[in-house]
Structure formats: C-alpha cells, structure tokens
Amino acid sequence: MLNVNDTVRAYSGKPGCMCGCVGTYNETERARKMALTALLKNPAAKLQSWPELGGDAGCLYVETETRARVLYLTAAGVAKLAAQFPEKVDKP
C-alpha cells in the first residue's frame, strides 16, 4: 500500500508553469500526507511515470481550470500505485 515514505514532494498552485512562480513545492511529511490523501480520494487523479530519468520516478496529479495538485513519487511508489489503482495510470 502506498504511504508517505513513497513520496518525494508535493506541489500546489495555479495550472501552467510549475517552476514555483504560480505555486509552491513542499517536502514536509505533513504536506505530502495531505496531498496523498486528497489525490487518492479524487477520481480524476492520474499517475504519470518517467523511471528512465532517475530521481523521482513519477507523479500523482490532478489539474483543474484553477488549480494543479501534484505529488511526486519514488520508483517504489509508482509501482505500488500502478498495482493498487490501475485505473489511475495515465495512458498517453
């Protein structure tokens, strides 16, 4: 089961540029737990992965017209989430 140890950081902000100019990144355990809970409950949340790039291996995200919420995951987190919630895997 996916837990906070499988996460790296959380982002919340306006959609668009994610350099930090329209939102904030947070690496605290509390922020990651809150994002994990909210995104797992949201049926619109999707999983993207990029294991070949190293570092964080993917993210669980949801984007609306006014907000983007992203939770970056470790490789183990991506694997756990894909196995637990195959319907959330973003298929390009």
Mean pLDDT of 1-25: 92
For the chain, what is the mean pLDDT? 91
Please give the pLDDT value at position 41.
Answer: 94
Asked whether residue 35 carries a pLDDT value surpassing 90, the answer given is: yes
Helices and strands (H and E) in the chain: how many: 2, 5
Asked whether residue 71 carries a pLDDT value surpassing 80, the answer given is: yes
Mean pLDDT of 25-52: 94
Q: Give the residue from 90, 37, 44, 88 showing the smallest Cα distance to 65.
A: 44
What pTM value is reported for the model?
0.90
Domain borders along the chain are 4-88
3-state secondary structure the chain: CCCHHHEEEEEEECCCCCCCCCEEEECCHHHHHHHHHHHHHCCCCEEEECHHHCCCCEEEEEECCCCEEEEEECHHHHHHHHHHCHHHECCC
